[in-house]
Chain A
Amino acid sequence: MTDKPFIDIRHAAKSYGALEVLKDISLQVRKGQIVAIIGPSGSGKSTLLRAINDLDPLTKGEVWLEDMQVNKPLPPRQYERHINQMRQQIGMVFQHFNLFPHLTVRGNITLAPKMLKRLTEAEANALAEKQLAHVGMLDRIDYYPSQLSGGQKQRVAIARALAMEPKVMLFDEVTSALDPELVEEVNLTMKKLAEEHMTMIIVTHEMRFAQDVCDRVLFMDQGVVVEEGPPEVIFRNPQHERTKNFLRKHLQGNAQ
């Protein structure tokens, strides 16, 4: 039973006209697994991640979360209801935070639980406090996003996603827009989540982080998964020339 995939991507393909950005990708993620997707820009890794909650709809293929198909073929109106339900179970954090600037940190976190889960003001506040404490941002609850540093914004964004109590968290290059000294606080927050066995799929450029935290690493290039395996194998002993080239460039850049 434990081998049954939690997230199941079946023959995912996506193209813009003649340009194929994803070419028949299948990926199974078990509950509690932490998967890193690495690869050069334009490799399709973000597109694959964004296909999981249908932000970037696939041209072909299926995405399943447990026994529910995320991109179920339905008439538009029913689909809208279905996908809103599915997305409540799939948390996502973006490179550019996408916090709502007109709301306070509290407002950012309580909005969706109040609207979608019908939480009362008091319940939503308690939830916000709990999630903010979790990411170490409770003292900023009444600040506006503009008053926070990049790392703080990202931690709030993580708390906002967690407040919906998702089954899986998707991270789309969440430290790429941060100043180097702010990366660590976000990485620590994600490590904490990992220790709590949250199922996570992480698109990242941080090889060190992928190596430390993830159970599995996928290397993507030109719309296909070139190679995948446990981090020790991918990073120490990659089999494919393209992986080797990519890692050589990246690890050099990171080390010096």
Chain B
Amino acid sequence: MTLDFTIVPSYFTLLLIGSGWTIAITAAAAVLSFVVGILFAVIALYGPALVRYPIRLFAWLFMGTPLLLQLFLIYFGLIQIGIDLPAFAAGVIGLGLHFAVYNSDIIQSGIRAVDKGQYEGARTLGLSRLQTIARIIVPQAVRSVIPPIGNNMIALLKDSALVSVIGVTELTLTAQLAISKTFHPFEFYLAAAVCYYVINLGLEAGLRHLEGRVQLSR
């Protein structure tokens, strides 16, 4: 079989829709991973032992096992205990929690790097511990770790291809569907790769813009 790229444009709309789903699942998982990452980081550093240790165990489990396995567990496994999630939701939760654990590590280091005087300055004004963490410490920590978090988000975008195996028709699965109809794997995998690359360029540009905007100069 010879290569025939002329077949790709007729699937353009389909690939575009697939790209849309990839962007949607990446965005949703990114938000989840960011919010949960902050939550985990704050609990890990300031929380009482009663919640700190379960969170640590959870983080350890999510870091120490494959993402693919986690997705299978969430999508296929949870049904057995009565939790029947749609594929998209399972994908968002799996990707989101997996990257939340990595984000949490980064945010923790960001929090540790915030000068101790910031805490004292806020407490001295009469802010409570929680108010100080929420309004003074975390906002500074997050700003300082945007670059490494951004790298995680790029990894998240690429790993979102894994949710094709639980049946989310994102970009990779879309390419596979096109291949099953046309038997042109090289062309369509390449087309999908180009789509991922373009989305990634957009993501990187967005991250650079964000870095520039929130940069803390001391």
Contacts and interface: CB of A to CB of B under 8 A. Distances in A.
Interface of A: 53, 55, 80-81, 84-85, 87-88, 90-92, 94, 96-102, 111-112, 115-116, 144-146, 160-161, 164
A248 B126 CA distance: 40
B217 interface: yes
B126 A98 contact: no
Nearest to B117: A98
6 contacts: A53-B124, A55-B123, A87-B124, A87-B125, A102-B143, A161-B124
A150 B122 CA distance: 19
Contacts of B208: none
A55 B131 CA distance: 17
Contact of A55 (B120, B136, B218): B120
Q: Give chain B's interface secondary structure class.
A: helix
Given A101-B218, A164-B125, 13 more contacts: A80-B129, A84-B126, A87-B125, A90-B124, A92-B124, A96-B115, A98-B120, A98-B121, A100-B121, A112-B122, A112-B126, A115-B131, A164-B126
State the 4 A-B residue pairs at the shortest beta-carbon distance, nearest first.
A98-B121, A88-B126, A112-B125, A98-B117
Interface string B105-130: 00000000001011011111111110
A124 to B, nearest CB: 13
Nearest to B143: A102
Contacts of A111: 125, 127, 135
B127 A100 contact: no
Interface of B: 115, 117-118, 120-129, 131, 135-136, 139-140, 143, 216-218
B218 A94 contact: no
B122 A100 contact: yes
Contacts of A102: 139-140, 143, 216
A114 B118 CA distance: 18
A112 B126 CA distance: 7
A112 to B, nearest CB: 4
A62 to B, nearest CB: 20
